[in-house]
Structure 1
């Protein structure tokens, strides 16, 4: 049987590790541990995976070094440019206010083993480590964005949108396009959660991630009544940071069509998480690599609004991919 395993960095600094085979269920268990794995369209009828064994480990104990050499293919802008033009036309027609296309850089392992990327490198805060493997297939990443943290009646989420190089931090602070993109995401989250209880939106700040910085706004809700974890996931995913605004059947279908055309992995931008005795934490699966045997894919997305320009978005996509390569030593 193919080996299966999953891991997720927890908010207390530990790493939750599960070993397969996993048993899949349509809903989370009332107690115990289950991982949550789904595609971008949330089409998996049984996304809750109960491991055969699981354990907590320290970050120092879990993460490993690897020696993997990748031959990266050059990435042409033409396919993305075509999608960008279609998006711009749709924005002008009023179908979208914002959406998030994805490009994928491909590579092939020349030396080493792609499976060694599972748990590779260290993962400093505020990045959150995640990974899943099933035999020769898998993905692993270090995401700066969590979709949900649920403990009792307390729900935490965040708006993470607006990107610049670290040396352009001061420019980002006054960049009207990036501020507008961030506010679209933050306001949409507030509107999605405001009817559930007392909501507190924190101040907009800047999250530093080494070579890259993002606008960041924390959002917290104290639930007035019980809300199931699956319904919270569906209410929030995808946020406008990774999805369309407005989010309708038409705009989701169109975005998924663009994603498929550009070769995005199904899990990219989807929630990946775990529940531990009722407490749930889920990241947005970005800043990672996907592999199938020795073939690798490195996806990255960018938020497109009316003020977006092709050359700037193409640079942002490269910046994000280079940040992933640096984290994984690729």
Structure 2
């Protein structure tokens, strides 16, 4: 699929009805739908794979009709032009009636998980909770959010996919892996502190609970990747976002051969950053925890694949929607030392960071 360096108003209109996007290394890749199912990703064209978190088997390889590679200022001009010619929406997503998650649900989640930890069954698990509204996301809403996402920090991967009245749009700091020219890059991203709770920038590096959580994720990922080749790490270090600090370790693997990207997804998902440690305990039991209903793609692999290159994101920090509702999720790692009030604040700050970056002001 040839990548075009321009797009018409008709093209951006089509994209906002059915489309996908990725901001990577300063370039915006926009893919117009509708999307068709293909048998595999063995092509020079970009293939998208975005399953549900609990059901990798639901994944379908999808390809769009036209791909465009643009600068941020070009995307901004296109969205502004589209909005200037579109009827205004009656109400912004940010001002709608959002139902916040129940603290009692999360308290139950924490109690169940820490019970398993105390029994020695697991070391860590990551529950998620959602704020919800009975309003869908329209094409005009998507254009408005894109205008806000243009200003997202460069450390975030802006991504999205929508078709047939449902979709996801966000800006994640986390990759499951990236592969190009013999090198596999990934990360351990676990351990979080809202900036307002940190006494200084290096606070997390001295926090025993957060460092323990981070190292569980790091060692798990290294064990999965060990058969692929020599592993090199850099960190832990601090990743700074507008409202949060994260613990972050870079992981590089010099691969002896081109790996199977789908096998990699199946082997890595979910890391203990979104799932359970140890991973052999399984993670699908979390689906029954209170507050998890309709999780869909939150925290799931979100992959852009071609024959010899791949970028697979971890689908967090997003808004998801269907024809009748929308939701914004947040998750946190629970270990033996986790405290209800501290984790509850972290969950709120993560959802707040999503609203801010999407322009959904409170």
User: Normalised by the size of structure 2, how large is the TM-score?
Assistant: 0.84
Question: Per the alignment, do residues 15 and 276 of structure 1 end up closer, same or farther by CA in structure 2, a change over 3 Å counting?
Answer: farther
| Aligned residue among 32, 35, 40 for 1:19 | 32
CA displacement, residues 190-225 of structure 1 (integer Å, 9 cap, x when unaligned): 111122101101121100001111011000001113
User: Higher helix fraction: Structure 1 or Structure 2?
Assistant: 2
Runs of 5+ consecutive residues of structure 1 not aligned to the other structure? none
Aligned residues: 327
| Aligned residue among 154, 167, 181 for 2:183 | 154
Distance, in Å, in 2 between the alignment partners of 1:110 and 1:221 is 41
Question: Per the alignment, do residues 111 and 306 of structure 1 end up closer, same or farther by CA in structure 2, a change over 3 Å counting?
Answer: closer
Distance, in Å, in 2 between the alignment partners of 1:18 and 1:155 is 25
| Aligned residue among 234, 240, 246 for 2:278 | 246
SS in 1 for 2:350: helix
| Aligned residue among 293, 297, 315 for 1:285 | 315
Question: Per the alignment, do residues 275 and 203 of structure 1 end up closer, same or farther by CA in structure 2, a change over 3 Å counting?
Answer: same
Q: How big is the alpha-carbon RMSD for the aligned residues of Structure 1 and Structure 2?
A: 2.4
Query: In the alignment, which residue of structure 2 is the partner of 1:80?
Result: 106
Distance, in Å, in 2 between the alignment partners of 1:39 and 1:236 is 15
Question: Per the alignment, do residues 236 and 51 of structure 1 end up closer, same or farther by CA in structure 2, a change over 3 Å counting?
Answer: same
CA displacement, residues 98-124 of structure 1 (integer Å, 9 cap, x when unaligned): 110000011245998544466341222
SS in 1 for 2:257: coil
Does residue 47 (structure 1) correspond to residue 60 (structure 2)? The answer is yes
Query: In the alignment, which residue of structure 2 is the partner of 1:255?
Result: 286
Runs of 5+ consecutive residues of structure 2 not aligned to the other structure? 1-13, 84-91
Query: In the alignment, which residue of structure 2 is the partner of 1:103?
Result: 129
User: Normalised by the size of structure 1, how large is the TM-score?
Assistant: 0.91
CA displacement, residues 211-250 of structure 1 (integer Å, 9 cap, x when unaligned): 11101100000111332111111121111101111123x5
Does residue 192 (structure 1) correspond to residue 224 (structure 2)? The answer is yes
CA displacement, residues 44-92 of structure 1 (integer Å, 9 cap, x when unaligned): 3552211121111222222547854332224320111112111111111
The Cα shift of 1:305 comes to 0.9
SS in 2 for 1:222: strand
